Amino acid sequence: MKVCEIFSSIQGESSLAGIPMIFVRLTGCNLRCAYCDTKYAYYEGEELSIDEILKKVRSFPFKYVEITGGEPLLQDEVHELMNELVKTHRVLIETNGSISIEKVNPEVKVIMDIKTPGSGMSERNYIENLRFLKETDEVKFVLTSRTDYEWAKDFIKKHEIKTSEILFSPAYGILEPKELAKWIINDALPVRLNLQIHKYIFGDIRGA
């Protein structure tokens, strides 16, 4: 597998924000979102066997591990990796929502993006994925503007989302969190405001 980096940090997003965990960032992405903050993961990385990845992961003292990217589901071997990791860890996978999650191990928590117009990639959403989500999974809307917010509201109304958590995340440095918070409160939306707290803690730097 081509791996961009393996590191430990504080989980900055989702309902697990604040928990220390291991991150396995795989190389490659099929989308080019306007606000992407991990462009280095498009191409950078080294080839590692699954055993080598597992050895590195198990060298950390944390029980949670997140597989991310780029887009981790581009590499078919990721399924074998997840199947091995769930034997020893609590596993998450973060995916951009453009590739089927049907074959993801059911013990893995899926955090799936639904791309808004501001990303420039909203036409790439694989809507069939909504059928494969579990209640324990989470969906995330990254919002760049009021237009994105209204689009996301409309999406929630039109589609059944079975997850217990729907995350509304302001694109870092583009949409002010306080503005998004006001909209959510005023509309009494049943969503979670999702800030990238690792960036507020460490800054917008790689491997943090």
33 is in an annotated binding site: yes
Is 18 known to sit in a ligand binding site?
no
The answer on whether 118 is annotated among ligand-binding residues is no
Distance CA 108, CA 144 (A): 29
N-terminal to C-terminal alpha carbon distance within the chain: 22
Return the SS3 of 62. Answer: coil
The backbone torsions φ and ψ at residue 95, rounded to the nearest 5 degrees and listed phi first, read -130, 150
12 is in an annotated binding site: yes
35 is in an annotated binding site: yes
Instruction: Tell me if 37 is assigned to a ligand binding site.
Output: yes
36 annotated ligand binder: yes
Q: Tell whether residue 11 is among the known ligand binding residues.
A: yes
- Is 4 annotated as ligand-binding? no
CA Rg value for the chain? 16
Determine if residue 42 is labeled as part of a ligand binding site: no
Tell whether the torsion through CA atoms of 167, 121, 4 and 72 is positive or negative. positive
Q: Which residues sit in the known binding site?
A: 10-12, 25, 29, 33, 35-38, 68, 70
Q: Which residues sit in the known binding site for Mg(2+)?
A: 38
Q: Which residues sit in the known binding site for [4Fe-4S] cluster?
A: 29, 33, 36
Q: Which residues sit in the known binding site for substrate?
A: 10-12, 25, 68
Q: Which residues sit in the known binding site for S-adenosyl-L-methionine?
A: 35-37, 70
